[in-house]
Amino acid sequence: MLKLNGLFSSKKQIAGLDIGSSSVKLAEIAEGPDGYTLQNFASIPLAKGIVADGIIANPNALVERIKELLKISRCRARTVVTSLSGYSVIAKKIGFPSMDEESLRELISDEIEKYLPFGDMKDVNFDFQILGSSDMSPGQMEVFLVAAKKDVVQSYVDTLKKAGLEVAILDVDSFALETMYEENYDYGHDDVCILVNIGASMTNINVVKGGASIFIRDFPLGGTSITENLQDKTGVSFEEAERMKLEKAASGDEQSRDELLAYADPLLLEIERSVDYFRSTYPGKFIKQILLCGGTARMPGIAEALVQRLNVEVEIADPFRKVSADKKSFSAEDLKEIGPQASVGVGLAMRRIGDK
């Protein structure tokens, strides 16, 4: 995971800040002797184009929206954990000869171009996590390597600094989902779960076995693609198509659900292809369940459609499954409503300085 280590004291209050292409979400979670407690959650929409494909396209506009989010949430934390996603970051599992961390870091630094499509190591920030010995290749170990261009990383740090925030850890959306899952769900050593985060413009897929990632894939389809398909079909503006999509989703009738699923077919097909690819790459791995995250996860019929396509149990992820909340601030219905869109932010808010 990409980190900016040694910059901040772990005693500072930390918030999770999930910067997407259609909204920014903020979560504050305290950890005590009785577990985690949700202290704060707020979200604010972003105009289209401010953040695109994980790249900050309009820093000044994003600064203003983050400042507004901090104001409406009354968040006191000024140190945050945030994350990268999509084209701005590459996460890849690679086999290496068994060695210690220091030797591995030197090897990757010297030969980064062998493993990732970057031309010059000077332009890249990277980090890695050793997963353990390979089951298939004696003398080899499996490593998750994560990298991003330094200018992309710096754009996040600079933008958040202008908003009055300091970045303690720069994570990856898929790994934030993994943190959320680890802290909320019970699993065995061989249990395989697929975390599917359907954002506005990007879908993150993280397959975890025994709580550790073994397969990650991002692809550029999400809730916006459903709106665009509806727009193409009806000839209305994007804004009108978005309004129509929300109305159909809220109507609850079967015809509206089936129409939405038709517009979502390319997205569902890509999820199906990703799962099929995982199954072919890891034969014999039984998938226990699929957990859906992101605002689009609650679209009527989407979970049922995936059950039919994949023959696997599918449910909406609950990032507050083992997180308590003040009943005066958050009702059970509130938590259910915000849960899908809060999954990444909750995972970020659970990170602590020194985590690996």
Task: Look at residue 136 and tell me whether its pLDDT is greater than 50.
Answer: yes
User: Domain spans of the chain?
Assistant: 1-88+150-185+321-356, 187-317
Q: pLDDT band for position 6 (50/70/90)?
A: very low
- State in Å, rounded, how far the first CA of the chain is from the last one: 7
Q: pLDDT band for position 3 (50/70/90)?
A: very low
Q: pLDDT band for position 303 (50/70/90)?
A: very high
For domain 1-88+150-185+321-356, give the CATH superfamily: ATPase, nucleotide binding domain (3.30.420.40)
What's the rounded Cα separation, in Å, for the pair 147 and 129? Answer: 12
Residue 284 phi/psi, 5° resolution?
Answer: 90, -5
Q: Give this prediction's pTM.
A: 0.89
Q: Is 208 helix (H, G, I), strand (E, B) or coil?
A: strand
Beta bridge partners of 304: none
What integer pLDDT is reported at residue 121 of this predicted model?
A: 66
For domain 187-317, give the CATH superfamily: ATPase, nucleotide binding domain (3.30.420.40)
**Average pLDDT over the chain, rounded to an integer:** 89
By C-alpha distance, which of 43, 22, 57, 25 is closest to 155? Answer: 57
What's the rounded Cα separation, in Å, for the pair 6 and 147? Answer: 19
- Domains 1-88+150-185+321-356 and 187-317 fall in the same CATH topology: yes
